[in-house]
Amino acid sequence: MAILVDEGTRVVVSGITGREGTFHALRNRAYGTQVVAGVTPGKAGQDVEGIPVFDTIADAVEATGANTSLIFVPPRFATEAIYEAADAELRLIVCITEGIPVRDMARVASYLRGKPSALVGPNCPGVISPGKANVGIIPGEICAPGRVGLVSRSGTLTYQIVYELTQRGIGQSTCVGMGGDPVHGVGFLEALEAFEADPETDLVVMIGEIGGDDEERAAAYVAERMRKPVVGYIAGFTAPPGKRMGHAGAIVTGSRGTAQAKAEALEAAGVRVGRTPTEVADLVAAALR
Amino acid sequence: MDLYEHQGKELFAKHGIPVPRGIVAETPAAARVAAESLGGDAVVKVQVQTGGRGKGGGVVLVDTPAEAEAAAERMLREGFQGRRVNRVLVEERLPIERELYAAILLDRSTGTDLAMVAAEGGVDIEELARERPEAIRRQHIDPEIGLHPYHLRRLTGGLPHELRDLVGNVLAGLYDVLTTEDATLVEVNPLVLLTDGRVLALDAKVTIDDNALFRHPEIEMLRSAFPIDPVEFRAREAGLQYVKLEGRVGIIGNGAGLVMSTLDLVHQAGADAANFLDVGGGASADAIATSLEVVLSDPAVRSVLVNIFGGITRCDVVARGMLEALERVTPTVPIVVRLDGTNAEEGRRILEEAAHPRIVPAATMLQAARVAAELANAEAA
């Protein structure tokens, strides 16, 4: 089963003829993902190492049966690609692009409400179901198929924790990089809900960071709804208030969004929170024994 | 990007929000002239990108131009709470009848705008929200439909009748600033009613979305007003995400989350980070070299920790970048290096062969943090 992406995933890559788009489309295909089409306006009829290119997502869907969008276009055009994918009724839209104005994203979030498309990102590393499909930029070789679900606001920190799990022989059902922007698509809540319902997932790891209240809301959800064990990690205990730490969303404003408050909320909900990525992997190993 | 108060007020004025008459001064003499032109008595306000100015002595009421000059001289000389101060705002003094609060911000948990009005101002709004949440009227505004009159009626409904339209006009102006200038926060604390019945924004806090600056070159230019640390300037020019911190361990990593986690691990190991530096995804050898130069140029740094988990970033490229930097600068502190992920073995081999006396390899992130903390504490002792 896994969540969001699997063997049935058929990817259309927006921005496939760009440097990053080409590199990752081919890397995802080499992993075994069905990358069936690409979109670059004005380049219809061309191909990228056998992947046909179309002018619009709708054309690509008609010709190839694509059901998942992967977006690599620059920030000022990325929201158009999201609208286009939503209008083509793709079930999943994964937007890797970093640097989209947050008010543009707020309009996107508003438009997507009530629509069948799920958005992951933006400013995210994508989604991988190890052994099944990789949609995005997560390095497939550090993952292994297994029964731990993982959802995270961060990229490389996710790789660190996945790597430590894999080293201990603990594989993953799906890893979801939800991204580091303040307004985003699929979050902890949606991922936790999907993992709870996924018969191939036994335990969930959630990796948060300073800023916003996604973790606090996830804690409330865990306390009320989750039966599967959850292990957590929060980055940014030493981040000073008012300083944006790399991600657009990673900032403590006033007394809100601190790592301390998030860790406490999670622990109060029964989530075991590791103090280091290594301890997270140890807690997962212990919980699975 | 947080604007100075006077920059925020200029945006307010442009969008029809009444503000006091004011003049920016960069020298004590200019503050004196400003006070003279405002009629003698005035308010001198330090311009910094932080709150708490009222309590911290950053707002001074003066009765004469000479007092304005003295207040400005002190502010410019002393700075404010450790920050450099390069300008003050000299404003007219106004007879205040009552204080209110108004703000609109992008509420990240709903992805919609949240407008707030309180019938009391000059307060710590977080404290008010905790202690008497009913004192704040809130209204979410979906960006899809924008601001409508019913929003304003709801927000101002708790105010005396004669104030509702005036405050409503201010809110409409704030919404205009928010949407047309790509702000994520506009806050007026206090919004004041004068004895003559006018309503004015006595303060202005405006945060602009950095991601949207490409379509607001005139706002991007406002940045040149901010005092900037030369190390931060160099990092920004090179496209690196750099934040100066207070500790002694210089940090370089790839990815914001990993770097934040590295900072935390160093702290747990008994030292503190001197900076946050994210080289970003797919970093080139040149970006790594510049990062190392930037971190080593900070005199507070006693050890450096390079923590790379290669995804798109290749560890062999990182290793070459480091050696390149070490040809240009001679480090006087140890550099602990942890490489994992894409081409890590190749990267580690390159560093091993170079056998640079300052490079200390580490096998894991945890070990790297411990060693870097230990070395920093030893160097500082």
Domain termination site, one of A94, A123, A152: A123
pLDDT of B52 reads: 79
Interfacial A residues in 30-49 facing B (CB < 8 Å): none
Interfacial A residues in 12-31 facing B (CB < 8 Å): none
Give yes or no: residues A157 and A261 share one domain.
Answer: yes
**Is A131 within the bounds of a domain?**
no
Give yes or no: residues A86 and A151 share one domain.
Answer: no
**Domains present along chain B, CATH in parentheses:** 21-91 (3.30.1490.20), 96-223 (3.30.470.20), 230-380 (3.40.50.261)
Give yes or no: residues A111 and A149 share one domain.
Answer: no
Interfacial A residues in 172-231 facing B (CB < 8 Å): 180, 182-183, 207, 209-214, 217
Give yes or no: residues A79 and A159 share one domain.
Answer: no
**Is A109 within the bounds of a domain?**
yes
Residue B249 C-alpha from the chain's centroid: 22
A77: chain B residues, CB-CB within 8 Å = none
Give yes or no: residues A37 and A152 share one domain.
Answer: no
The tokens for A287 are 């919980």
Give yes or no: residues A118 and A158 share one domain.
Answer: no
**Is A87 within the bounds of a domain?**
yes
ipTM here: 0.94
Give yes or no: residues A52 and A155 share one domain.
Answer: no
pLDDT of B281 reads: 79
B3: chain A residues, CB-CB within 8 Å = none
Give yes or no: residues A60 and A6 share one domain.
Answer: yes
Query: Range of A21's domain?
Result: 1-123
Q: Among partner residues A106, A155, A235, which is closest to B106 by beta-carbon distance? A: A106
Residue B289: strand pairing partners: none
Domain termination site, one of A123, A153, A173: A123
Residue B52 C-alpha from the chain's centroid: 14
Q: Which residues in chain A show pLDDT less than 70?
A: 1
Residue among B87, B91, B142 at smallest CA distance from B114: B142
pLDDT of A233 reads: 98
- Contact (CB, 8 A) for B243 and B260: no
Interfacial A residues in 88-107 facing B (CB < 8 Å): 99-107
**Is A129 within the bounds of a domain?**
no
Q: What is the CATH number of the domain that holds A187?
A: 3.40.50.261
Write out chain B's pLDDT in tens, 381 residues: 999 999 999 999 999 999 999 999 999 999 999 999 999 999 999 999 887 788 888 999 999 999 999 999 999 999 998 888 999 999 999 999 999 999 999 999 899 999 999 998 777 787 888 888 888 999 999 998 999 999 999 999 999 999 999 999 999 999 999 999 999 999 999 999 999 999 999 999 999 999 999 999 999 999 888 887 788 888 888 889 999 999 999 999 999 999 999 999 999 999 999 999 999 877 888 889 999 999 999 999 999 999 999 888 889 999 999 999 898 888 999 999 999 998 999 999 999 999 999 999 999 999 999 999 999 999 777
Strand boundaries in chain B, DSSP class E:
22-25, 42-46, 59-62, 88-91, 96-107, 112-118, 136-141, 183-194, 199-201, 205-208, 241-244, 249-253, 275-278, 303-310, 335-341, 359-361
Q: Among partner residues A156, A183, A248, which is closest to B255 by beta-carbon distance? A: A156
Tell me, yes or no, if B366 comes closer than 8 A to chain A by beta carbon. Answer: yes
Q: Among partner residues A103, A214, A259, which is closest to B106 by beta-carbon distance? A: A103
- Contact (CB, 8 A) for A122 and A95: yes
Give yes or no: residues A59 and A103 share one domain.
Answer: yes
Judge whether A247 counts as a catalytic residue: yes
Which residue is closest to B2 within chain A, CA to CA?
A242
CB contact under 8 A, A100 and B109: no
For B77, phi and psi rounded to 5 degrees?
-80, -45
Give the SS3 label for residue A43.
coil
**Is A12 within the bounds of a domain?**
yes
Q: How far is CA B196 from CA A24, B98, B121, B160, in A?
A: 65, 11, 18, 16
pLDDT of A31 reads: 97
Q: How far apart are CA A80 and CA B173, in angstroms?
A: 28
Residue A188: strand pairing partners: none
pLDDT of B102 reads: 96
Q: Among partner residues A110, A212, A233, which is closest to B144 by beta-carbon distance? A: A110
**Is A9 within the bounds of a domain?**
yes
Judge whether B242 counts as a catalytic residue: no
CB contact under 8 A, A255 and B126: yes
pLDDT of B231 reads: 84
- Based on the number of CB atoms within 10 Å of its own CB, is B295 exposed (0-12), middle (13-18) or buried (19 or more)? buried
Tell me, yes or no, if A77 comes closer than 8 A to chain B by beta carbon. Answer: no
The tokens for A238 are 């030493």
Give yes or no: residues A51 and A194 share one domain.
Answer: no
Q: What is the CATH number of the domain that holds A91?
A: 3.40.50.720
pLDDT tens track for A61-85: 999 999 999 999 999 999 999 999 9
pLDDT of B230 reads: 83
Which residue is closest to B255 within chain A, CA to CA?
A156
Which residue is closest to A217 within chain B, CA to CA?
B109
The tokens for A272 are 């075991």
The tokens for B4 are 């100075």
- Based on the number of CB atoms within 10 Å of its own CB, is A141 exposed (0-12), middle (13-18) or buried (19 or more)? exposed
CB contact under 8 A, B261 and A235: yes
Catalytic choice (A247, A271, A277, A284) = A247
Domain termination site, one of A123, A152, A175: A123
- How many angstroms separate the CA of residue A102 from the nearest CA in chain B? 7
**Is A212 within the bounds of a domain?**
yes
pLDDT of A249 reads: 87
CB contact under 8 A, B113 and A106: yes
**Is A202 within the bounds of a domain?**
yes
Look at chain A and report how many structural domains it folds into: 2
Give yes or no: residues A150 and A117 share one domain.
Answer: no
Give yes or no: residues A237 and A112 share one domain.
Answer: no
- How many angstroms separate the CA of residue A213 from the nearest CA in chain B? 7
Residue A68: strand pairing partners: A11, A92
pLDDT of B83 reads: 86
